[in-house]
Chain A
Amino acid sequence: MKLRSLLTLATLTIISTTYAQETADAPLQISGSVDTYFKYDFAKTPNIATSFASEQNSMSLGMIDLALKKTTGKASFVGELSFGPRGQAQSIPNGAFAETGDGDISTSSFHIQNLYVNYAFTDKFTMTAGYMGTFIGYEVISPVANFNYSTSYLFTAGPFQNAGIKGTYAFSDKVSLMVGLFNDWNVYQDLNGMSSVGAQLMVSPVEGWTAYINVLNGYHDEGGYGSGTILDLTTTYQVTDKFKLGLNAADYAAANDNGGYTGAALYPQYAFSPAVALGVRAEYFNIKGVAEESDAAILSGTLSANIKAGGLTFIPEVRFDNDKDYSQSFVKSNGSATKSASQFSLAAVYAF
């Protein structure tokens, strides 16, 4: 009798699932990704210090990323959690500090990449509050949305997340403006009050071309990382069905003459088919000297392929960096200082 009940239940479940797929409007979105990589620096030591893909000659972990989104009428929320080196210590702050019984400091992570609520007051005006991926820059933390697996110096030096409240007004499909009040860069809680203001102007002059002009200004008494003003241009142009061109240029001037950076990266990409594409990242990055110190410049070239099979993307990549001012402390395999570094990596990213 029990078997009969179970069989009936199973059958009805299958049938109801069949019809649910046809008609349900799916109120909850769930998505995410998993990534893993192997990296080999030809000097046999990890020279290039940009974010992620940092471990030498090892099959290493990126992160598992899980995102939920739900929209009810004009309101929606997004919650995105990440677990693993890329999604925790390498990209988000620790949530809390606590002393153990022995007096040691232990840390705990909230694992949060995105946590915000959104309300569309009209078709043109929306407001968003919470902890969000930054609006600055071309590259992002999630490997799914980047073409190259290793990241640029511009990405590593800029903000990762901005908690805050922002309003976005769309004048048309081609022009919109966002203005917001934000915490300091990459913090869940702003201990000196919300003291950063930011804005983003989006323009799309022709079909396939979108440009974002961003500014973020922050201030706190001590100056340092996150204070000062960052100006950023991020743009992509789908020139043809197969050829796409991206550009990121930014200037960051830290408050109190505490340095900053200037840089530009070009991203030409060519899709041989929907499954196979090849792309280059060519970057110039200049680290501004603090006070009287001189600047230091780096050139970087990265060649990556994207080979897709269903939800899986393989990213073989070679990268060559030149550090003429020895700011990155590159070394040869014998330990002596050198101006250049090169590496190979192979990453596998699965998105669902």
Chain B
Amino acid sequence: MKFLAGLCLLLLVSILGMGQDKPMSTDDRGKLIYYEVVVAKDIAKDSLTMRASDFLNRSAKFMTIRSTDTDTLMHATGKMIINKTALVLSRPSGEVHYNFYVETREGKYRFWMTDLKFVPYQRNRYGNFVPTTSKGIPLEHQPGKLNSAEWAGYVKAVTREANVLSTRFKQSMVNKILPVIKEKPVIPTQEW
């Protein structure tokens, strides 16, 4: 009996673990948005701006800085690949393009991801998955009954990716920027 109760508890923990993502909201333009305001006591605005800029530069593989018009607001565009996954198998089903904004103040900052557009993938003549169109479909679009389950899956996947990105971003805003020193590990063979 104890064993079964333990199993149930383990299952419950794993199921709860799946549902911890912060959901997307809708902004005043009717667009889906992932939005957070973070208090960072004792960290100056300049320092926050530098850390945000450093994060965007280090994310150049999937994000492009578009503008830093003011010293407080930064704008980047990004792309995330949505994969259908089962065990060790996976295939891309599309990509989502988005705008990413960061604004800093003394002791706090906010960031948001919005203007999410989904571009479906299709397998081409060589067996590779490629975008079917260059014009994405806004993710807040209501797909109708036929595609609602598929679309809900995309929104869920984007929410999950947005949470991952959010965690990484907040982590980088906490840490000071340290120069990267690449030293090869040396194993002493004289002493053992």
Q: 8 Å CB contacts to B: which residues of A1-56?
A: 4, 7-8, 11, 14-15, 17-22, 24-31, 33
CB closest residue in chain A, given B83: A26
Chain B residues, CB < 8 A from A17: 87
Task: Please determine whether A31 and B129 come into contact, CB atoms closer than 8 angstroms.
Answer: yes
Chain A residues, CB < 8 A from B11: 11, 14-15
Tell me the complex Cα distance, A208–B133, Å: 7
Task: Please determine whether B88 and A27 come into contact, CB atoms closer than 8 angstroms.
Answer: yes
> What interface size band does chain A fall in?
35 or more
Task: Please determine whether B126 and A133 come into contact, CB atoms closer than 8 angstroms.
Answer: yes
Q: 8 Å CB contacts to B: which residues of A57-105?
A: 67, 69, 78-80
B41 within 8 A of A: no
B3 within 8 A of A: yes
Chain B residues, CB < 8 A from A29: 89-92, 129
Chain B residues, CB < 8 A from A273: 143-144
Task: Please determine whether A310 and B149 come into contact, CB atoms closer than 8 angstroms.
Answer: yes
Chain A residues, CB < 8 A from B129: 29, 31
B165 within 8 A of A: no
Interface Cβ pair total, 8 Å cutoff: 116
A241 within 8 A of B: yes
A265 within 8 A of B: no
Given A18-B18, A275-B144, the answer on whether A11 and B123 have CB atoms closer than 8 Å is no
Tell me the complex Cα distance, A19–B88, Å: 11
Which among A28, A69, A140 is the interface contact of B125 at CB below 8 angstroms?
A140
Tell me the complex Cα distance, A19–B10, Å: 13
Task: Please determine whether B85 and A24 come into contact, CB atoms closer than 8 angstroms.
Answer: yes
Tell me the complex Cα distance, A80–B126, Å: 9
Tell me the complex Cα distance, A240–B137, Å: 11
Hey, which bits of chain B sit against chain A, CB under 8 A? 3-4, 7, 10-11, 14, 17-18, 83, 85, 87-92, 120, 122-129, 133-135, 137, 141, 143-144, 146-147, 149-151, 160
**Sample of 7 more A-B contacts, CB < 8 Å, known A20-B88, A31-B127, A275-B146:** A11-B7, A26-B89, A29-B89, A31-B91, A116-B126, A141-B125, A274-B143
A-B CB contact pairs (8 Å), 19 listed:
A7-B7, A8-B7, A14-B14, A15-B14, A18-B18, A20-B87, A26-B91, A29-B129, A79-B127, A133-B125, A134-B125, A135-B125, A144-B122, A145-B123, A238-B134, A273-B144, A275-B144, A309-B146, A311-B150
